[in-house]
Amino acid sequence: MRKPRAGANSVRSVNYATSPLLASKTPPWRSRFVVVLVAAAFLLLLGRAVFVQIVRTDFYQAQGEKRFVHKQSLPASRGRILDRNGLVLATSVAMPTVLVDAKTFAADTTQRKALAGLLAMPAAELDQRLAAARGTVTLRRHVPEERWQQIQALKLLGVHEVREYQRRYPEGEAAAHVVGFTDIDDRGQEGIELGFQPQLLGTSGQRVVVRDRLGRVVEELGDQADPVHGRDVTLSIDSKVQFFAWQRLREAVREHGAKAGSVVVLDVRTGEVLALANHPSFDPAQRRNLSGAQLRNRALTDIFEPGSTMKPFTAALALETGRVTPETTIQTAPGRITIGGATIGDAHPHGVLTVAEVIQKSSNVGTVKMAMQMPAREMWELYTQIGLGQKPRIDFPGAVTGRLRPHKSWRPIEQATMSYGYGLSASLFQLARAYTVFARDGELIPVTIQRQDEPAVGQRVISARTARQVREMLRLAAGPGGTAPQAQAIGYSVGGKTGTARKQEGRSYTNKYRAWFVGLAPVGDPRIVVAVMVDEPSKGVYYGGAVAAPVFSQVVQQTLRMMNVAPDLDVAAQINARPAAAELESF
């Protein structure tokens, strides 16, 4: 007989229906209380949802957008600056700017040091900037692309980049004073960058994006406003002529131990500035520790007494008014003249000279004798007509007026000294423009820094006959027996006038000099005017014919060849000719 299983008997022995625990009645208030609690919780959640989704929806959406939605500026590219042939003088390149979201940034000590090294900043500075930040902070602007790729490889939370434009200047020092430069925010500070700021500056655009916690753009919201890029500016400058002029000027400044120098090259048919060079110069892309001497555009901002370069204008006025002819003789012996108690002298006595020889030999006495035949008013009117004492009308910042006092205040000795360039002041640019009167058969032409294909319309100052007569005198002055035979250019006839003057400091003149040469070529049908100034040559040679004229010669040769101007002289005869000695210049 089988025994019954113990487990089966135990289960059957329990009577659930009669369990005291289950048989006890639950109070009704307890179940109601639970229901009330559940309902209250539901209503609370429902109220919160209504509050968030309806009542304060704008606030919470804004808070969410602050964390993930960002308005991203789309910078506009600044317009390019081009030379007359379309070569780039200044352009903008998009560069990474590194930013960090301080709230999401996470990096260990090793990563921080690596990041600081790639950003070229001390680790302590990086830590300090991150500690002080509350939101997004810019760590470094205009980071090289390869550096940004290395930063990305660190895979740091909260580090991202935006693209900003950085200005590049391919011609460097050679065109620095023409082009100028911008600040880090792409605003023009000097030169064309400043003068043409409205045209070059664009308008930034904008887009709304969603970023993830790593700072990466994952979505664009809505339509973006595209940037409007700046307009290009095409200059009259020929970058090849500009570079050669700057290079030759730099060599002359170093050769003569000079303080500085300038060159201006003008196209006399169109009035275009083909070159405007200064030394010392600077690299527009590297502007730390620059001095005022490097930044000054001396051709436009420095004024000086033009000295003997004014003698051709005195002769032109005497010719124009019929007081003399090129063959009229003037007694310059004994090489000095006294006016109002002051004595004016030549470098050495010349005796009897024709008017043409007065300019060729640069005689002070002969020039003064012509000037004293004329009323001061006539001289003042001529000087005013050629632009002296007036600010040049050119789209370029920094051009100065110079100094020309009213003729009513001139004393006789002042009229005498002004006839050969003392007692008034002008910039090299003003002198270059003034000489277009001789190059353009008596017309003074407007000048421009922008490309101008049409011939310039000039203003009549003297007759064409007088201008050609003076041009012949300038040819003599730049040839054998003149003060600047070193101005001769291989293959081209040239004419011009030297200038040498002591520098005035306070009320007295010093033993410091400025040397310059202003001339034109070819003489028969001039195409260019070139003006050269070398400031304070210090190695014993300071005459314009020895310091500035050689620069003029080389710039003329190079420029006319680049302009495809046919030579008008026999090159072989010039090469075989023996160098002529220069006439000692009176100043």
- Segment 180-200 shows an average pLDDT of 91
Beta carbons of 159 and 100 less than 8 angstroms apart: yes
**Quick one: pLDDT at residue 110?**
86
Evaluate if residue 180 carries a pLDDT over 80: yes
The DSSP bridge partners found for residue 261 are: 279, 534
**Quick one: pLDDT at residue 46?**
84
422 half-sphere exposure, CB direction, 13 A CA radius: 19
- 233-234 and 81-82 beta bridge pairing: parallel
- Segment 467-480 shows an average pLDDT of 96
**Quick one: pLDDT at residue 343?**
94
Percent of the residues in the chain that have a pLDDT greater than 70, as a whole number: 88
Evaluate if residue 490 carries a pLDDT over 70: yes
185-223 burial string, b = 16+ CB within 10 Å, else e? ebebebbbbbbbbeebbbeebebbbebeeebeeeeeeee
The DSSP bridge partners found for residue 95 are: 164
DSSP 27: P
| Residue 553 annotated in active site | no
pLDDT tens digits along 409-460 = 999 999 999 999 999 999 999 999 999 999 999 999 999 999 998 999 999 9
Evaluate if residue 10 carries a pLDDT over 70: no
- Segment 137-146 shows an average pLDDT of 87
CATH 3.20.20.70 fits 71-119+136-210+217-234, yes or no: no
- Segment 152-162 shows an average pLDDT of 84
**Quick one: pLDDT at residue 489?**
94
Q: What is the largest CA-CA distance in the chain?
A: 171
Residue among 281, 308, 363, 419 flagged as catalytic: 308
Which class is 239-576 in CATH? alpha beta
pLDDT tens digits along 210-245 = 665 555 565 566 666 777 888 999 999 999 999 999
350-384 burial string, b = 16+ CB within 10 Å, else e? beebbbbbbbbbbbbbbbbbbbeebebebbbebbe
pLDDT tens digits along 348-404 = 899 999 999 999 999 999 999 999 999 999 999 999 999 999 999 898 888 999 999
What average pLDDT is seen over the chain? 87
**Quick one: pLDDT at residue 287?**
75
**Quick one: pLDDT at residue 440?**
97
Model confidence at 1, in pLDDT bands (50, 70, 90)? very low
Domain ranges of the chain: 71-119+136-210+217-234, 239-576
**Burial class of residue 162 (count of CB atoms within 10 Å of its CB; 0-12, 13-18, 19+):** middle
The pTM of the full predicted model, rounded to 2 decimals, is 0.83
**Quick one: pLDDT at residue 397?**
86
DSSP 54: I
**Quick one: pLDDT at residue 531?**
98
Model confidence at 257, in pLDDT bands (50, 70, 90)? very high
**Quick one: pLDDT at residue 16?**
55
> Do 71-119+136-210+217-234 and 239-576 fold alike per CATH?
no
471 half-sphere exposure, CB direction, 13 A CA radius: 25
